[in-house]
Structure 1
Amino acid sequence: MATERAKNLGKRIVEYPEDQPSVISSKDWVHNLARDPKDFAVQYLRRLFPILGWITRYNVGWLTGDIIAGLTVGMVLVPQSMSYATIATLPPEYGLYSAFVGVLTYCLFATSKDVSIGPVAVMSLQVSQIIKYIDQKHPNEWSGPEIATNVAFICGFIILGIGLLRLGWLVELIPVPAVAGFMTGSAINITVGQVPGLMGITGFDTRAATYHVIINTLKGLGRTKKDAAFGLVGLFFLYAIRMTCDYLTRRYPRRAKMFFFISAFRSAFVIVVLTFASWLYTRHRKSAKGTYPIKILQTVPRGLKHVGTPNIDSQLLSALAPKLPVATIILLLEHISIAKSFGRINGYKIDPNQELVAIGVTNTVGTAFGAYPATGSFSRSALKSKSGVRTPAAGILSGIIVLVALYGLTSAFFWIPTAGLSAVIIHAVADLVTKPPQVYKYWRISPLEFFIWVAAVLVTIFSTIENGIYVSLATSGALLIFRLAHPRGRFLGRVRVHANDSNTSHSRDVFVPLANNHVINPQIRVEPPPPGVLVYRLEETFLYPNCGVLNSEIVDYVKANVRRGTDVRLIPLSDRPWNDPGSRHGADSEWEENQSKPVLHSIVLDFSTASQVDTTSVQALIDTRKEIERWTDHPVEFHFASILSPWIRRSLVAAGFGYDYRIQSARPHDVAAIVPYDDPETRSPVSKDVEAVDVEARDSKGTSLYDNSYGAVRRGEAATVQIDTPYFHLDLAEAVAAAEANFLKLSPSTSSHSVGK
């Protein structure tokens, strides 16, 4: 009907002109390079300071949410920071320094309102391993805080560079199960390492491999001290408060907010109670040697004692070099994964590059305050999100609370039992362990990634966190390469699908794999393509790592299912190729079987999933055509469907594809021959086989904007693809129809056998 309407309007035919993209003129490629440098610089600077985009719209409603969230996070941040500093084998005040700088600096560069930057358990564990490594290599040369500060500076500088260069996409190369694997292994490592402190057991290295710590802890149970009374009681009440509040929230949903805040303050509450109990018990029990019956923090310096120019030692940086990659990976991976998670939950999108800038600035600036490496914290970010935070400005209030603690509460910190801090650590890092239902989902979705998770956990537990991360990265990279180098492809057949509703009934052809793939109902009969036609769908992008596999799959299928054009019985054995000698003289059975197969005329390639090609893959496609035509002993049409990228089309045209195969001058030619040879290019001819759609294109006076009388396209229609490359088609159905039509025109009486039937 649309065609009739177009004819009535008297419209002329629209020819789609040849318009190949080029490096010189492509809008997509050159436009970005030709932007005004001034505009580019302005936009770049604006992205560096996201706070400029929301601070001018700040209002009282946002302020209320930020105050509540800032106070809540600040109350948790103080005890957690000191606890994590003990994991890093640093004095507790260094945790407060990192917390103060982290929450204040991040709000200037943040693209996430929920993330809270500061000391975290996994990074603290890695810092302790680095300090141990340097002490073993260079005994007594540098102190722990010096080592930690230098790690923060160089890692922050590296991450800042990655962010400024906009290389944040590198983080996307590491899958979620790999991150979850080493995080789970690290959480188990930290928990096991804190149990001796919880029980007051000493006498062995709690930074050793996890299984060693477990064995030594079990052996040392008889040496349990009074610290256990504080540690175990604190751990019990931490879980008891949370479980009670969770139950009461379900029981009384109207008071859920109240129970949430009670649960949120449980760490601070338990530390306050334990500190008061410790003061009552130990204040009059100091021995002559200056020791107390339980281990307490004792003196915590008041204020910011280490503000100044950081002492960056080049010799120390050289000694740290082997440990810097894994430390950098932990900082950026943990932060980006947390930021992206909360962005998905709360409906906003983060900028990974800007988040890396925030982490980089936080750690480089933090060295001037004596801070050690800081990154995003999962537990505090979750608490901040649930508290109703509205903007990153909530971090300012959290920083003020840390500063107040540094200047006003250090005398109270003296009596904090370290067993209580161990209880806080165990309670916090337990949430980093991947839950069994989530692990089962890994198995259901991708069994190979499940094994990556298992490998990361086991290596982290039985070796070190560093080896766990490297195993995660190596196995993830190997899986990515394997998937890219071993793509799936399917030979397709046709299924007629009928749709009926109350008013209309229509049907359409759907192309599905010929072989059962356990997705299509096996009871449905898939109709093979007509004799002489093959339909193949790539299920991966077509690049150099996988083009050889696709070449072999198509060529092997052709040799197994279509007729060989040359009668090898008539060729002397001495003239036959060594790798394909065929049957011996007089052996007619193979030839008779060959004659029963159909003659191949066309191959239709579905490129709907191919986003890119390269020189090697295009050359492999040329080789595929040559091998097939050597087997059939006559030219074979290659049709391409659903090429949506102009650059893929440009590449195929450059190799000679898309033109009428019957014209010898249009035959594909090598584009990456190892041994060069003379293959002059000629202008490709125009074919009469063109698909068309209805158009309506007129100027203000009603005159047609196009004037063409190309015979293959009816009046009122336009070519959907360039008319001089008729073997490029808009979709698979049209491509198969064109291949069938050409075959019927050339071979009216075809064999009754279908290829691959």
Structure 2
Amino acid sequence: MGNADHAYPSNVECAHRVAIPPPKPFVKTLKNSLKETFFPDDPLRQFKNQPLSRRFVLGLQYFLPILEWAPRYTFEFLKSDLIAGITIASLAIPQGISYAKLANLPPIFGLYSSFVPPLVYAMMGSSRDLAVGTVAVASLLTASMLGDEVDAKENPTLYLHLAFTATFFAGVFQACLGLLRLGFIVDFLSHATIVGFMAGAATVVCLQQLKAILGLEHFTQGTDLVSVMRSVFSQTHKWRWESGVLGCCFLFFLISTRYFSKRKPKFFWISAMAPLTTVILGSLLVYLTHAEKHGVQVIGELKKGLNPPSFGDLVFVSPYLMVAIKTGIITGVIALAEGIAVGRSFSMFKNYHIDGNKEMIAFGTMNIVGSCTSCYLTTGPFSRSAVNYNAGCKTAVSNIVMAVAVMFTLLFLTPLFHYTPLVVLAAIIISAMLGLIDYEAAMHLWHVDKFDFIVCMSAYLGVVFGSVTIGLVIAISISLLRVLLFVARPRTLVMGNIPESMIYRNVEQYPNANNVPGILILEIDAPIYFTNASYLRERIARWIDEEEDRIKSSGETGLQYVILDMSAVGNIDTSGISMLEEMKKTTERRGLKLVLANPGGEVMKKLNKSKFIENIGQEWIYLTVGEAVGACNYMLHTCKSNPAKKDDQAETWNNV
């Protein structure tokens, strides 16, 4: 044990008292807490001290950001947005058709979903770079969850109507989260959860494409690896080599263009145009060789025309209402997490702000409107948004340009997709999904935080070997369990003195930190609540036992004081206060004195109201660990002859 005589002054200096915050009315405290929870960005500050007419304009601009930036729109912006919009349209059209097939919906609904929602988002969204459209994971979730209740082949009309209904409830849920300022709920999907879930979903999506790649007509309804492999290898006699060769060739072409564009970022447009190129080449090849007569499956007829209304098709009756609500909520949360994360990522590159709650309102509104116009769930996919960003978009007008291009396709070009082979769509989906399997992020988690890696792999394995829903539930459950463990089992650390200073730090982190003779300094690293009060009481008692055993074995100065550093204790409840009262009694029975250092304002307020300060004596509460150690050392050196005068000496120390 090092000598810490320098930790107290030779000439007794003044010790600072810990102030007790002035009392505040409960209503005001509750109001401030709710404001920080639901309105941390204070969206109403711009309305203060404004005339009524100005407030009305600001309100419209809040819900329709296009009214704010449209007056400043220039011809230079239009040129950039026009190029970006046409570029993402070339990606959106084949992806929309592909993802609709993934959701077990007719391909035309993928085009419908790429027309109306982007127009709504362009008016209400706050991101300049987000490109709206359908996504693979939401499509897979829709097929998986609705497919458990209704077979898309046996009852396609009901299945389609349930997809619209699920989209409607997803939109309502998203909009309510935004309006009620509940966006923090999405934050419960941790980074590790999203990495594992997305990789697992991408793997499952790729496995599902084996049906089209191998030209199989019958395939398992299950999404897990075992079911898919059993279905594939039980039909080896039905594999079509023509379809397999065509699919592998197009997949190689798509991966090659992606690799080239990644190595040469200025040629991003090559990767963006590749899916549409494969659709055109595949359709021409099938048309010229009549490959559809030799086992190569094609899309077939797509009817011309814009989105038909579908409000009357929504299903609000039993027994399908609950499955539509459940599907809508789960897909809505996943779509929100992906869309907001993508929007924030690109906003950081351009140094502008994304309002998460406004984005939720925009996503919710576009899905509500979409459900009434024959669209299924849409959000902001990363691949399309990355192309939009790299193409040099300036505003959300690029979404409008994309929607116009899709409208033109719906009105005039849909017959051209008749001969598009399904194997080409499968190749497009696989190439897009490979980018979601981020093994580098998983390895980074392993190196930085093993528990996060476990969460990530649990999500991945749950999706691949169970189902998309099971994987998501497992990952969220483990993440919540970790949060509960942090709360229920906070760290307590032994602190020592850094030589030749008044600084006290964790002795494990700083091996050169010296223990202070006769004093045990413990740091509590979390708020004290009913969930951890019993654990902290037992853990502190064990620290005291271990310190006394160590002192006995080394023959050093006996333990006299226990200092609790409460710098990290942001709050305390009545269970925590009871724990401190019990610790005070326990230490006194063992001939020790309990000392507190740097309790925060909220903690001091509650300790004062509970009379704990009066019980322990304010002379035993110090502003810093250094002052607490100085006071204890002062009393150790001046009160050896008369221990009964400790309290008087402590009061003397505080009043000098």
What's the TM-score once normalised by structure 2's chain length? 0.85
Deviation, structure 1 residue 562: 4.7
Pick closer, same or farther for the CA change 1:549–1:48 going to 2, 3 Å: farther
Deviation, structure 1 residue 623: 1.7
Which deviates further from its counterpart, 14-23 or 98-107?
A: 14-23
Instruction: Give the distance between the partners of 2:152 and 2:105, measured in 1 at CA.
Output: 19
Q: Aligned to 1:99, which of 96, 114, 130?
A: 114
Match of 1:11 in 2: none
Q: How does 1:28-107 map to 2 (within 5 A)?
A: 29=31, 39=47, 46-107=61-122
Does residue 741 (structure 1) correspond to residue 600 (structure 2)? The answer is no
Match of 1:444 in 2: 447
Match of 2:468 in 1: 465
Deviation, structure 1 residue 21: 3.6
Pick closer, same or farther for the CA change 1:610–1:64 going to 2, 3 Å: farther
CA distances 1:695-717 after superposition (whole Å, capped 9, x unpaired): xxxxxxxxxxxxxxxxxxxxxxx
Instruction: Give the distance between the partners of 2:113 and 2:622, measured in 1 at CA.
Output: 60
Match of 2:305 in 1: 303
Match of 1:527 in 2: 514
Pick closer, same or farther for the CA change 1:387–1:530 going to 2, 3 Å: same
Kept in 2: contact 1:24–1:30 (CA 8 A): no
Letter paired with 2:280: V
Instruction: Give the distance between the partners of 2:553 and 2:295, measured in 1 at CA.
Output: 93
Pick closer, same or farther for the CA change 1:137–1:223 going to 2, 3 Å: closer
CA distances 1:69-110 after superposition (whole Å, capped 9, x unpaired): 212111100110000000011111111111112221112222
User: Secondary structure in 2 aligned to 1:461?
Assistant: helix
Kept in 2: contact 1:562–1:598 (CA 8 A): no
Match of 1:329 in 2: 333
Structure 2, unmatched stretches of 5+, are: 1-15, 49-54, 644-656
User: Secondary structure in 1 aligned to 2:597?
Assistant: strand
Pick closer, same or farther for the CA change 1:16–1:90 going to 2, 3 Å: closer
Does residue 550 (structure 1) correspond to residue 550 (structure 2)? The answer is no
Match of 2:575 in 1: 616
Pick closer, same or farther for the CA change 1:24–1:38 going to 2, 3 Å: farther
Does residue 263 (structure 1) correspond to residue 271 (structure 2)? The answer is yes
Letter paired with 2:251: L
Instruction: Give the distance between the partners of 2:65 and 2:152, measured in 1 at CA.
Output: 43
Deviation, structure 1 residue 603: 3.0
Kept in 2: contact 1:495–1:512 (CA 8 A): yes
Letter paired with 2:615: R
Which deviates further from its counterpart, 81-90 or 726-735?
A: 726-735
Q: How many residues align?
A: 612
Deviation, structure 1 residue 151: 0.6
Pick closer, same or farther for the CA change 1:137–1:191 going to 2, 3 Å: closer
Instruction: Give the distance between the partners of 2:307 and 2:639, measured in 1 at CA.
Output: 90
Match of 1:425 in 2: 429
Does residue 280 (structure 1) correspond to residue 235 (structure 2)? The answer is no
User: Secondary structure in 2 aligned to 1:342?
Assistant: helix
Q: How does 1:19-30 map to 2 (within 5 A)?
A: 19-23=21-25, 29=31
Q: How does 1:310-709 map to 2 (within 5 A)?
A: 310-315=312-317, 316-435=320-439, 437-496=440-499, 508-514=501-507, 517=508, 519-520=509-510, 522=511, 524=512, 526-531=513-518, 533-562=519-548, 598=557, 600-632=559-591, 636-641=593-598, 643=599, 645-658=600-613, 666-667=614-615
Which deviates further from its counterpart, 369-378 or 39-48?
A: 39-48
Instruction: Give the distance between the partners of 1:445 and 1:195, measured in 2 at CA.
Output: 36
Kept in 2: contact 1:117–1:376 (CA 8 A): yes
Instruction: Give the distance between the partners of 2:18 and 2:467, measured in 1 at CA.
Output: 62
Kept in 2: contact 1:134–1:320 (CA 8 A): no
Match of 1:115 in 2: 130
Kept in 2: contact 1:310–1:367 (CA 8 A): no
Deviation, structure 1 residue 366: 0.3
Instruction: Give the distance between the partners of 2:59 and 2:588, measured in 1 at CA.
Output: 54
Instruction: Give the distance between the partners of 1:368 and 1:18, measured in 2 at CA.
Output: 58
CA distances 1:275-314 after superposition (whole Å, capped 9, x unpaired): 22222223xx88xxxx775211111111224225343222
Q: Aligned to 2:188, which of 170, 173, 197?
A: 173
User: Secondary structure in 2 aligned to 1:274?
Assistant: helix
User: Secondary structure in 2 aligned to 1:376?
Assistant: coil
Kept in 2: contact 1:199–1:232 (CA 8 A): no
Letter paired with 1:379: S
Pick closer, same or farther for the CA change 1:495–1:593 going to 2, 3 Å: closer
Instruction: Give the distance between the partners of 1:32 and 1:45, measured in 2 at CA.
Output: 25
Deviation, structure 1 residue 66: 2.0
Instruction: Give the distance between the partners of 1:463 and 1:595, measured in 2 at CA.
Output: 57
Pick closer, same or farther for the CA change 1:324–1:745 going to 2, 3 Å: farther
CA distances 1:121-167 after superposition (whole Å, capped 9, x unpaired): 01111111233222269974952211110110012111211111000
Kept in 1: contact 2:197–2:460 (CA 8 A): yes
Deviation, structure 1 residue 177: 0.8
- Give the structure with higher Rg (CA): 1
Deviation, structure 1 residue 319: 4.4
Instruction: Give the distance between the partners of 1:130 and 1:244, measured in 2 at CA.
Output: 37
CA distances 1:371-416 after superposition (whole Å, capped 9, x unpaired): 1111221211121222222222221111111111111211101121
Pick closer, same or farther for the CA change 1:385–1:639 going to 2, 3 Å: same
Instruction: Give the distance between the partners of 2:62 and 2:536, measured in 1 at CA.
Output: 43
Letter paired with 1:265: M
Report which structure shows greater RCO (CA 8 Å, sep ≥6).
2
Kept in 1: contact 2:214–2:244 (CA 8 A): yes
Kept in 2: contact 1:602–1:639 (CA 8 A): no
Instruction: Give the distance between the partners of 1:640 and 1:102, measured in 2 at CA.
Output: 57
Instruction: Give the distance between the partners of 1:241 and 1:65, measured in 2 at CA.
Output: 23
CA distances 1:189-210 after superposition (whole Å, capped 9, x unpaired): 0001102202212332264422
Match of 1:589 in 2: none
Pick closer, same or farther for the CA change 1:176–1:244 going to 2, 3 Å: closer
Instruction: Give the distance between the partners of 1:463 and 1:213, measured in 2 at CA.
Output: 12
Q: Aligned to 1:199, which of 208, 214, 234?
A: 214
Pick closer, same or farther for the CA change 1:46–1:395 going to 2, 3 Å: same
Pick closer, same or farther for the CA change 1:628–1:466 going to 2, 3 Å: same
Pick closer, same or farther for the CA change 1:482–1:637 going to 2, 3 Å: closer
Share of identical aligned residues, percent?
24
Instruction: Give the distance between the partners of 1:432 and 1:25, measured in 2 at CA.
Output: 48
Deviation, structure 1 residue 741: 3.2
CA distances 1:569-604 after superposition (whole Å, capped 9, x unpaired): xxxxxxxxxxxxxxxxxxxxxxx9699675554433
Kept in 1: contact 2:63–2:124 (CA 8 A): yes
CA distances 1:463-490 after superposition (whole Å, capped 9, x unpaired): 1101111111111111111122111111
Instruction: Give the distance between the partners of 2:437 and 2:32, measured in 1 at CA.
Output: 47
Instruction: Give the distance between the partners of 2:577 and 2:59, measured in 1 at CA.
Output: 38
User: Secondary structure in 1 aligned to 2:435?
Assistant: helix
Instruction: Give the distance between the partners of 2:465 and 2:177, measured in 1 at CA.
Output: 32
